[in-house]
């Protein structure tokens, strides 16, 4: 089973948790896109859902495949969100934002009764931090914000490069008009403390630590998919 097959397997298991009539948050990324394709097949067969996409990229795919969409303002309370992750630990703490949609992903997840994460087993880690932590920042005062992030990280014993994400010849810009700093800390032993410190920095719009948000994680490997519940 190759990587794409594992993503499809995880997406298929996640789809069994979706009931007709649900208000559904729809995530961003390669695994979430496999979920959208499977969902679209059911919708074509008469399955009823109203979806809220977490990015313009996801919205375009949903429109292309015929998945009905609403805005979060139209559906401010959702039943379930299905989304991928860049890292998942045993307590179902996540790092997200590799695709650049972490702000909208977190807003949609917070508006949902439940969040289910879908991923292949390469994303399962003992301690978060091998994947660089995306930190969404306001373009105004970017250098100052970066220096402050370095200081709060050092206070927690964290170090590593803080790289402004690039796209083509310029800085990457999120759907909300912000930039992303990818923080290569290597290992984050206290994700809660780092989350609190980053939230205190005015120039930080949001960060990719999703804590106490996922109810289930569906992890696919060569032998099939398994479902993990939060160990917290």
Beta-ladder partners of 209: 95
| 179-183 and 204-207 beta bridge pairing | unpaired
Return the H-helix or E-strand segment holding 191. Answer: helix 191-199
- Give the DSSP letter string of 49-80: EEEEESSHHHHHHHHHHT--B--TTTS-SEEE
- Which of the following is catalytic: 105, 136, 197, 206? 105
34 has catalytic annotation: no
Structure tokens belonging to residue 214? 């996922």
Q: Which residues does residue 118 pair with via DSSP β-bridges, in sequence order? A: 218
- Closest Cα partner for 156 from 123, 126, 200? 200
User: Active-site residue numbers?
Assistant: 105
């Amino acid at each position: 089973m190759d990587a794409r097959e594992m993503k499809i397997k995880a997406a298929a298991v996640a789809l069994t948790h979706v009931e007709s009539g649900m208000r559904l948050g729809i995530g961003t990324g390669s695994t979430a896109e496999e979920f959208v394709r499977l969902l679209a097949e059911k919708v074509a067969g008469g399955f009823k859902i109203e979806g809220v996409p977490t990015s313009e990229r996801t919205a375009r795919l949903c429109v292309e495949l015929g998945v009905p969409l609403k805005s979060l303002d139209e559906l401010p309370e959702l039943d379930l969100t299905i989304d991928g992750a860049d890292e998942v630990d045993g307590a179902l703490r996540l790092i997200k934002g590799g695709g650049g949609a972490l702000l909208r992903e977190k807003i949609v997840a917070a508006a949902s009764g439940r969040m289910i994460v879908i991923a292949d087993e390469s994303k399962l880690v003992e301690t978060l931090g091998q994947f660089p932590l995306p930190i969404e920042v306001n373009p105004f005062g970017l250098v100052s914000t970066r220096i402050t992030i370095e200081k709060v990280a050092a206070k927690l014993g964290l170090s590593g490069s803080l790289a402004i994400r690039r796209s083509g010849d310029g800085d990457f810009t999120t759907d909300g008009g912000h930039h992303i700093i990818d923080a290569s800390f290597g290992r984050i032993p206290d994700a809660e403390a780092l989350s609190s410190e980053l939230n205190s920095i005015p120039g930080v719009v949001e960060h990719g630590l999703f804590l106490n948000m996922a109810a289930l994680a569906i992890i696919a490997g060569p032998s099939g998919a398994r479902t993990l519940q939060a160990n917290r």
